[in-house]
Structure 1
Amino acid sequence: MSGPHLFPVRVYWEDTDASGIVYHASYLRFAERARTELLRAAGFEQWNLLAETGIAFAVRRCEIDFRRSARLDDQLEIDTRVTAIGGASLDMSQAIRRNGDDIVTLLLKLACITRDGRAARMPSDLREVFNAIKAETASHAA
């Protein structure tokens, strides 16, 4: 990867309310897809990660700022960045954009957990990948 991870999303009827405006929970789904694709681009599929290491990521905290509304058929782009790496956690920022303008921003803390929901240290190979992603995204201004 080079720079931030960018993931395109088209707004469909299922993402909107009765007026064609994106329903607030849809932004969380868009952001989740982008984080999943960031992991995939880094060589880690979530199901395999769980099967091979017994760990997964869960959202521990999410702060979301709704600045503007997206509408039916809008083409959006989600910019995902790793901002901090802890022993069993990962901080990320995500910006959902339309035509280059931020419409929704998210700040997240993800917890590395076992199948039974207990905190777990992040595997070293995954930590190395996230450190590389963090370094790459830090070198590109938002």
Structure 2
Amino acid sequence: MMKAHKTGFRVYYEDTDAGGIVYHARYLAFAERARTEALRMAGTPVSALQEETGLVFVVTKLGIEYHQPLRLDDWAEITTTIDTVGAARCQLRQIVTCGDMRAATLTVELACIMQNSGRPARIPPRWRASLQALSNQS
């Protein structure tokens, strides 16, 4: 069982401010890519959810705690795990590290909705299984 997914990335000039420190909003883009890759590696690309069911995941709540800054040219990793999976929502935890240093911790709530109406929808079984593969729950 997968339990956690790690995505690595390099910090480029475009990610930083004039002092070479990663701009705070870039962490959101890094985390979005890591969530997408985690679901893909668990067997359910987000594009397939939309194409097969007309459903999408949207962020409904986001919290981020910055610990230490990432800097230009750092090699960093984001570890993505699922804390909870409900009928139509799930909560993820994403930890951004650079070597032994923790840079940031994100908690993200995603809701499953119908793309055409925006109304909540139950998470289909195939996607529920993928989310549970990334879950900390037993």
Q: TM-score range by the shorter chain?
A: over 0.9
Runs of 4+ in structure 1 deviating by more than 2 angstroms, as ranges, are none
Q: TM-score, normalised by structure 1?
A: 0.91
Give the structure 1 partner of residue 36 of structure 2: 36
> Quick check: 1:119 aligned with 2:120?
yes
Please give the secondary structure, in 2, of the residue aligned with 1:24.
coil
Q: TM-score, normalised by structure 2?
A: 0.93
**In 1, are the aligned partners of 2:70 and 2:103 still within 8 Å (CA)?**
yes
User: Residue type matched to 1:63 in 2?
Assistant: G
User: Residue type matched to 2:2 in 1?
Assistant: S
Identity percentage of aligned residues? 45
Give the structure 2 partner of residue 129 of structure 1: 130
**For the aligned residues, what is the CA RMSD?**
1.4
Task: State the distance in 2 between where 1:105 and 1:83 align.
Answer: 13
Give the structure 1 partner of residue 19 of structure 2: 19
Task: State the distance in 1 between where 2:129 and 2:48 align.
Answer: 18
Segments of structure 2 that go 5 or more residues without pairing to the other structure are none
Q: Would you tell me which structure has more helix in proportion to its own residues?
A: 1
Task: State the distance in 2 between where 1:104 and 1:118 align.
Answer: 32
Segments of structure 1 that go 5 or more residues without pairing to the other structure are none
Number of residues of Structure 1 aligned to a counterpart in Structure 2:
137
User: Residue type matched to 1:86 in 2?
Assistant: G
Report 1:64-83 matches (<5 A). 64-83=64-83
